[in-house]
Amino acid sequence: MTAELIGKRVAVLDKGFVELLDLMPHPATEVPGDLAIVNAARVSFLGESKGEEADKRLLFYLLRNQHTSPFEMVEFKFRVKAPLVTYWQWVRHRTFHYQSANAQSGRYTPFEENDFYVPSAWRQQSKSNKQASAGEIDPELSAEFTEKLNAFYQQGYALYEQALAAGIAKEMARLFLPGFSVYYTWVIKVDAHNLMNWIRLRMASDAQHEIRVYAEAIYTHFFKPALPWTAEAFEQYGLSAPPADSASFD
Ligand SMILES: Cc1cc2nc3c(=O)[nH]c(=O)nc-3n(C[C@H](O)[C@H](O)[C@H](O)COP(=O)(O)OP(=O)(O)OC[C@H]3O[C@@H](n4cnc5c(N)ncnc54)[C@H](O)[C@@H]3O)c2cc1C
């Protein structure tokens, strides 16, 4: 099951994607991620199990009591393509970016003509939350603004190409590209503990749609199938549940 996840790519937004590049423990070890977490908690060696029922009970105990370090024994490596508006929110998560990431260089690789995010609809400004949106605007007005956006992209890209043709360096020519909407590709690595923190914050209803869809894709298509017990416990307790007791977990 998890072997099929490696190399799987899920489309997100109009041109983006999330692809799982690697997983630890690798499926070739035949140690399920959930079991790796349980084994780490027992300070044991891979493959040891006390039976499915006891193993699952221990995993639930760990998450319920916020014994989070065993969940750091499972790691996911993703390639992500997302607009910069998403990238800038993502990189605020120090454990899911700064520690382990490599990003495309706009100084080295030229941007392509269609590498800009075009939303499927425009959302209204929320009246109750200065940071949020609420509902979609009238479809006719939406179509009008999409047309304006495409014209703006074409103009920016034409100027970018003119600058490159004039011999201006890529690192400067990109000043003509619309900053928030250009698609960007990066490779990132994160452990299951910190991925749960990110999913909790970015799948929440107050997160911007353009990052929420990435969180939903990662949770549904990669996290849940790779760690079914952990996902079940996570849905039950989240990460913010107060410790129920402080006994040893073995
Ligand atoms: C809906 C939403 C709106 C936001 N709006 C804004 C905004 O307007 N402006 C803005 O600047 N940011 C904003 N943020 C980003 C937010 O402030 C956090 O930086 C971001 O969510 C990362 O959360 P985190 O620290 O839990 O994650 P990570 O940085 O991945 O850290 C994970 C955990 O590690 C620990 N940790 C990591 N580094 C340290 C440290 N140096 N010291 C102590 N503990 C540490 C903490 O326990 C932390 O919870 C927003 C986030 C969300 C979800």
Is 202 known to be catalytic?
Answer: yes
Q: Do the beta carbons of residue 183 and residue 115 sit within 8 Å? A: yes
Q: Which of 42, 123, 200, 202 is catalytic?
A: 202
pTM over 0.85: yes
**Ligand 1 pocket, residue 95 CB under 6 Å:** yes
- Residue 164 tokens, joined: 């490159």
Handedness of CA 74, 80, 86, 91 (dihedral sign): positive
**Ligand 1 pocket, residue 66 CB under 6 Å:** no
Q: Separation of 35 CA from ligand 1 center, angstroms?
A: 29
Tell which atom from ligand 1 comes closest to the C-alpha of 197: 26
Tell which atom from ligand 1 comes closest to the C-alpha of 208: 1
Q: What is the pLDDT of residues 112-152, one digit of tens each?
A: 778 899 999 899 887 777 777 888 888 999 999 999 999 99
Q: Separation of 91 CA from ligand 1 center, angstroms?
A: 9
Q: Do the beta carbons of residue 84 and residue 180 sit within 8 Å? A: yes
Distances (CA, A) of 182 to 14, 17, 36, 178, 234: 12, 14, 39, 6, 34
**Ligand 1 pocket, residue 68 CB under 6 Å:** no
| 25 prior amide bond cis, ω within 30 | yes
Q: What is the pLDDT of residues 208-249, one digit of tens each?
A: 999 999 999 999 999 999 999 999 999 998 755 444 444 444
Q: Separation of 30 CA from ligand 1 center, angstroms?
A: 34
Vertex 138: Cα angle to 134 and 142 (nearest 5): 95
